[in-house]
Amino acid sequence: MSTVSAPGKLELAELGPVRTQEHEPERATLRRLLRLRWGVGAGVVLLVIVACSALATWIAPHDPLAVDIRHRLSPPAWMDGGTRDHLLGTDPVGRDLLARMIYGGRVSLVVGVVAVLMSATIGVLLGLAAGYFGGNVDWLIMTGINVMLTFPFVLLALAVIAVLGPSLGNMIIVLGVAGWPIYARVVRAETLTIREREFVLAGRALGMSHARLVFRQILPNLVSVIVVIATLQVAQVIILESFLSFLGLGIQPPTPAWGNMLGEGRLYMLNSWWIATFPGLAIFVTTLVINLMGNALRDWLDPHSKL
């Protein structure tokens, strides 16, 4: 049977799309470079966003809490009835939207980065333990991962916040503690394969301790994977944070945050579309550039990844 089909296979393969296969690597390289350029561009935009929120005190055109009752609900400057004084318009009590957006970025970025650092730490440690030790430890951690990944993260975060009470600290803790399974799953899978590699076996034969094997031999090989996931997760955490604030369970007014501004804007969307539109746009652009950067980072660190 196989001797009969072998020549046929060959012929068919020759008939197949040989040309595209030749072009594939070139195109792929081109695409990678293009993606990297996108990544750099995205990085620059992100840097601008970070700089804006860091320097908010100096560059914001107004105090984000200053009430200007004469100009309440005034539309953006380019529309009828808009004033130069408030470029993106004002909210129901006349606070400057642009200033609030610049300040609002602080919350999102801080929550995103701190929560991701927390969940990455927890997730990497658990993933290493599961992958390295195997057995019951692995079973327990994998069950935990399954439970957490099965359940919609949004609902979990909502329930915990409802009990703990809404505040910046609580939100960081919830998002930080609940985000670990993604890291744990990937790190565990990688650890399982690396554990069997020669250099780890050699290390074990030399009598290295578990801690040294895990942290000095295995972990360094996982850094790029972890960095990529963490970058992409920052975007997810920012969206979640905004949603919680949007529901009124996150950052409490009058502190400006993109999420609670959007929530406020929803109440006025019938007449004043700009209050909900601009903060949402800020969230969208921020998460977009972070995602682009993450993708470029993945291409750069691991060109063979098919993700």
Partner 1 sequence: MRRYIARQLVQLVVVVLGISLLAFAILHVLGDPVLLLLPQNAGKEEFARYHRLLGLDRPLYVQYWKFLSSAVVGDFGKSWYADTPAFKLVLERMPPTIYLTFSGLFVALLIALPLGTLAALRRHSWVDSLCTTVAVAGQAMPLFWLGIMLIIVFAVRLKALPASGYGTWQHFLMPAFCLGAALAPITMRLVRSGVIEVMSMEFIKTARAKGVAEPMVVVKHALRNACIPVITVLGLQFGQLLGGAVITETVFAWPGVATLTVESIRNQDFPVVQCAVILLALIIVSVNLVVDVLVGLIDPRIRAA
Should residue 132 be labelled a site residue for partner 1 when binding is judged by CB under 8 A?
no
Should residue 291 be labelled a site residue for partner 1 when binding is judged by CB under 8 A?
yes
- Single out the residue of 242, 241, 225, 234 nearest to residue 292, CA to CA: 234
Q: What is the CA angle 278-284-290, rounded to 5?
A: 140
Cα dihedral 208, 209, 214, 215 sign = negative
Should residue 287 be labelled a site residue for partner 1 when binding is judged by CB under 8 A?
yes
Tell which one of 86, 118, 295, 298 touches partner 1 (CB under 8 A). 295
Should residue 37 be labelled a site residue for partner 1 when binding is judged by CB under 8 A?
no
Should residue 2 be labelled a site residue for partner 1 when binding is judged by CB under 8 A?
no
- Of 53-61, 115-123, 194-202, 277-285, the window that binds partner 1 (rule: CB under 8 A) is 277-285
Residues 139-178 that bind partner 1 (CB under 8 A): 143-144, 146-147, 149-156, 158-164
Should residue 36 be labelled a site residue for partner 1 when binding is judged by CB under 8 A?
no
Should residue 242 be labelled a site residue for partner 1 when binding is judged by CB under 8 A?
yes
Backbone phi and psi for residue 108, each to the nearest 5 degrees, phi listed first: -60, -45
For residue 105, give both structure tokens.
Answer: 């970025």
- Of 8-16, 183-191, 198-206, 221-229, the window that binds partner 1 (rule: CB under 8 A) is 8-16
> Which residues touch 188 (CB under 8 Å, ≥6 apart)?
126, 127, 128, 130, 131, 138, 141, 142, 145
In this complex, which beta carbon is closest to partner 1, that of residue 26 or of residue 196? 26
Backbone phi and psi for residue 90, each to the nearest 5 degrees, phi listed first: -130, 170
Should residue 180 be labelled a site residue for partner 1 when binding is judged by CB under 8 A?
no
Give the Cα separation of 275 and 263 in Å (integer): 9
Backbone phi and psi for residue 153, each to the nearest 5 degrees, phi listed first: -55, -40
Residues forming the site for partner 1 (CB under 8 A): 9, 12, 15-16, 20, 27, 31, 143-144, 146-147, 149-156, 158-164, 235, 239, 242-243, 246-249, 262, 265-266, 269-270, 273, 276-277, 280-281, 283-284, 287-288, 290-292, 295, 306
